[in-house]
Structure 1
């Protein structure tokens, strides 16, 4: 939780922390170049080293089992009561231990209907080995159901359930939020009249950071009390390949004038433990995703600080951001529409405060404890059916 972590890792850690507090013996295992074991908040942590020899070539094809065999051995020898898989579905050799699969991303993303129909049967041969397929949003659940329909009558039975992630709404007390707001805004050189817009996440084209930079560049030329802080980096993206450096260069180029006027700042990656202070300092959070954002953990974190969110109408975002209630929704890729929404909240403090108050109430209702309560009921169902 000190180092940079993406949304999937954050959810796994938060769930495990509460499970450990409740007396469960929890282990989080992941693949890493070097084997390692440790502990965090009562949770057993393991890094599993891939087997270097388990890369097999046959018939001109290469089958890479290095990571899979390492995990398979760990699971089989661990004698776990239940295996909770996050975005991992290669379960053929994991044995008959009860399993659940947790989906944080868009299942079979980007596939056209014809391709989806061809891929779905094999996809569900893997998914069907789990006692439950857990979706972080109704959007993800809908995609899972669609793929199950496309898999045909021979597909194994599904057990698709929605379990939204949560937030620690009291990570900072009211006094701590006030102190953090004062400190961070002083570090950024802001006055009381400045309105701070914030983005946190992967600096990738999919997250809409280029469109955000374009919208803010226009806004800052019109209003000299607008400020933009971008917290994040490319390694927060679950797939680390791609044009991340190019994206960051583009964003910096677009914001050149704003940065020169000290109206924008690229903060780099902020650790999860430090992020609440930056949310507290902000007035508006912006997440203009250009892909189908499946949930948006950062939305809840911003809500916890009592600030409204401007989000794109994508994936599961509208399940959290209710237009005109706790934030504003804009169409994907609509730079002018994004600028108008930002301008509206910049100029209307009463609206910011009203939306922010509702945002805070949304966060209070969505605790991690509630997420784990629902998860334990899912576990009980899966265990009782085995």
Structure 2
């Protein structure tokens, strides 16, 4: 069958782990002989065809006030206007229709829909094609995709989010199957009445395993003649809990260092650097996982929002580095307290500092967690197993297409 993967972004435009996993999936299926094509948004008007590592990629110029993949963060008014248009962007449907016609697509697999909006589901349904929705974040509940506001995670959609997402749950009934990259994410959306009647399952995103020789070098007892080295790797943003991490690190009563790898908005980076105020905290910019995890003894993932999954936690464990993680979102599905790391609770701020102190106080524990870390995430490193599960799902969706989709296509209007 010919499969169209629809996504907000596609390489080389990478906003986060969702795009990395999507590319890994598309290229993996192509290597297995599948007929795949990608449609993503782009900065140039009209529809253009490119090729990325042997995969045909269509890029459609985003019909909105600005293209959302930009280093410059627009002001609040511009962002509000963008999200109003993205509530249902009917203009983007014509690009989908054109690619469906050109490529004789048999199945559409939707990933992040920012820019396309849920209008994509209507266009796919009108073409009488089966569809699968892969969930990477909370976009369907929250325009910001993170359900995080005023420094804390939202327990439920606020009034503004409900307004911007009115009718989305009803439209999702057109989707044949839904995949969550974590149990947390899938359960949260379905509890909000999304994807009623759709086949639902969890398929964890697979991370590429490090080279065996590289991994072996990590799995060695930590040197005790130097301070304990903590490290954070990822986007520098408020919901990632960096302020909490820096504040708790500064309370530690033992010698330690903290390396922070990654980039964020320039003003927020400056705020964090001013907060750090000690040479023991260094900001080292972008780092490859192989380079970064050589520099740390313990990784910290202090998210104060509901992290949808947490590939960075998988990567740390894959390099035999134990992890201190918050007990939010999908992180507890990766980090098991006392097995490959320790869990802390943003609702109890001192729990992070206490976990860091425990790692220093009990080197036997730290070494045991490190020795168990790689094995604990082996199932997250198996790309072939992930591809097997996706292929089985795609076959099932095409073969078991419900008659209600063929004979009674549901179209909605705002």
Q: TM-score, normalised by structure 2?
A: 0.75
Gaps of 5+ in 2: 1-10, 66-83, 142-146, 148-153, 402-414
How much does 1:175 deviate? 4.4
Higher mean Cα deviation, 102-111 or 129-138?
102-111
SS at match of 1:323: coil
Aligned to 2:327: 313
CA deviations on 1:206-254 (whole Å, 9 max, x unpaired) are 01011111112222xx333x121111223xxxxxxxxx44432221012
Cα distance in 1 between the residues matched to 2:214 and 2:235: 30
Is residue 2:142 matched to residue 1:142?
no
Structure ranking higher in helix proportion: 1
SS at 2:123's partner residue?
A: coil
- Look up the match of 2:24: 14
Residues 104-113 or 372-381, more deviating: 104-113
Structure 2 match to 1:77: 102
Whether 1:163 and 2:203 are equivalent positions in the alignment is yes
Distance 1:283 1:51 in 2: 46
- Does residue 124 (structure 1) correspond to residue 137 (structure 2)? The answer is no
Higher relative contact order (CA 8 A, sep 6+): 1
Alignment pair present for 1:212 and 2:232? no
Equivalent positions of 1:339-354 (< 5 A) are 339-354=353-368
In structure 2, the partner of 1:376 is: 391
Q: How far does residue 301 in structure 1 lie from its aligned partner after superposition?
A: 0.7
Contact 1:167 1:363 in 2 (8 A): no
Native 8 Å contact 1:101 1:127 kept in 2: no
Q: Contact 2:190–2:196 (CA<8 Å) still a contact in 1?
A: no
Are 1:138 and 1:316, in contact at CA under 8 Å, matched by a contact in 2? yes
Which residue number in structure 2 is paired with residue 289 of structure 1?
303
> CA distance change for structure 1 residues 202 and 23 in 2, over 3 Å: closer, same or farther?
same
Corresponding position of 1:230: 260
Matches of 1:82 and 1:368, distance apart in 2: 21
1:178 aligns with 2:214: no
**Corresponding residue number in structure 1 for 2:178:** 133
Q: Is residue 38 from structure 1 mapped to residue 54 from structure 2 by the alignment?
A: no
For 1:252, what is the secondary structure of its paired residue?
A: helix
Q: Is structure 2 residue 358 aligned with structure 1 residue 325?
A: no
1:252 paired with 2:273, answer yes
Q: CA deviation at 1:354?
A: 0.9
Q: C-alpha displacement at 1:144, in angstroms? A: 2.2
Question: In structure 2, how many angstroms separate the alpha carbons of the residues matched to 1:269 and 1:358?
Answer: 27
SS state of the match for residue 44, structure 1? strand
1:97 aligns with 2:129: yes
Equivalent pair of 1:293/1:317 in contact (CA under 8 Å): yes
- 1:274-299: CA deviation from partner (whole Å, max 9, x where unpaired): 22331243211111111111110111
After superposition, the C-alpha distances for 1:117-160 in whole angstroms (9 at most, x for unaligned) are 88887223332222111111111121122112xx7xxx852322
Against the structure 1 CA distance between its residues 2 and 92, is the aligned structure 2 distance closer, same or farther, given a 3 Å change threshold? closer
1:198 paired residue number? 231
Find the aligned partners of 2:348 and 2:275 in 1 and give their Cα distance: 17
Is the Cα contact below 8 Å between 1:31 and 1:67 reproduced in 2? no
Q: Give the aligned CA root-mean-square deviation in angstroms.
A: 3.1
Unaligned 5+ residue runs, structure 1?
Answer: 54-60, 182-189, 235-243
User: Aligned to 1:218, what secondary structure does the other structure show?
Assistant: coil
Distance 2:354 2:315 in 1: 24
SS in 1 for 2:251: helix
- Partner deviation per Cα, 1:323-362 (whole Å, 9 max, x = no partner): 1111100011533211111121123322112112222102
